[in-house]
Structure 1
Amino acid sequence: MECIRLANKTDISQLFTLYKSEGWHSFSEDKIRTLFNSSTYLVLENDGELIAFARCLTDGAVTTFVAELLVAKDYRGRGMGKLLIREIQTRMAGTRLELISEADGFYETVGFRAVGQGYRLA
């Protein structure tokens, strides 16, 4: 049975495994531990296994930025990402959700629309 909850530090190893499975090697276990101080991780688990997560940053009043959203490969196409987006909307109600992604097709299917262009330094 699937369950969405706030992550805790005991999830760091499983979060690291998911990051690594996507080739996102800039995320070490130490970096993830540090991110807990400034971010909100929502995790989706199935029978105790962490199968997806979203990491968000918010000011609580205007904007919530979705920094990462990742669904394990074996669970893609089953609506898990959509569940996480809905949970973010519920928990961060009253804020607009923003993100930068190259997976535009997915985000458009869950209601996002393109707004301008994003920029990054470094």
Structure 2
Amino acid sequence: MTLRPVELDGDDTEELLALHREYGWWDEREREDVARALANTDLALGLRDGDELVAAARVLTDFVYYARVYDVVVATDRRGDGVGRRLLDVLTDHERLDDVNPVLLCREGLVPFYESAGFERYPESVAVPDDDAPDEEDLVTLIHTPS
């Protein structure tokens, strides 16, 4: 497995949409919306194994004070292989994010994974506004704290 970090753009829309559709929360996303989201994202990162996009994340940021991570996704058949951890390492080590500590929201069950990648629980949670969310749980806020 040779994972190669890439910055994503509009040409990656179809592959990113395919990854999103593997998740229950995101399976109804439309191509046009994913393309618009990519076009309006400050930094979109992915991992490719050969030509295949196997993981991605988007960051909305001012590159000075704030960086919010969205849509962290790993191909179903690659989960548990260290791909997600590698993606987060690429994201948190990205030179354009040197001045900020990225923040993200995740489900409670994913907190240990993100903590293993250097994120810490922040004293804020967010109610999930979507009735289709699994178990109607709150989302936990985490912030990356470099060691």
Same-fold status (TM-score > 0.5):
yes
Taking structure 2 as the reference length, the TM-score comes to 0.76
Shift, 1:38, TM fit: 2.2
Shift, 1:36, TM fit: 2.0
Percent of paired sites with the same residue: 25
- Counterpart amino acid of residue 121 in structure 2: A
Alignment of 1:11-90 (within 5 A): 11-23=12-24, 24-39=26-41, 40-90=43-93
Task: Please give the per-residue CA displacement for 1:47-80, whole angstroms capped at 9, x wherever unaligned.
Answer: 1011110111111101211112111121112221
Task: Say whether the 8 Å CA contact 2:3–2:48 is kept in structure 1.
Answer: yes
Structure 1 runs of 4+ off > 3 angstroms? none
Q: Which residue of structure 1 aligns with residue 139 of structure 2? A: none
Q: Which moved more, 1:110-119 or 1:93-102?
A: 110-119
Name the one with the larger strand percent. Answer: 2
Taking structure 1 as the reference length, the TM-score comes to 0.90
**CA-atom RMSD in angstroms:** 1.6
Structure 1's unaligned 5+ residue stretches are none
Task: Please give the per-residue CA displacement for 1:68-120, whole angstroms capped at 9, x wherever unaligned.
Answer: 21111211122211221122122211101101100212111111111112335
Q: Which moved more, 1:18-27 or 1:54-63?
A: 18-27
- Counterpart amino acid of residue 101 in structure 2: R
Structure 2's unaligned 5+ residue stretches are 130-147
Secondary structure of the residue aligned to 1:77 is: coil
Radius of gyration: which is bigger?
2
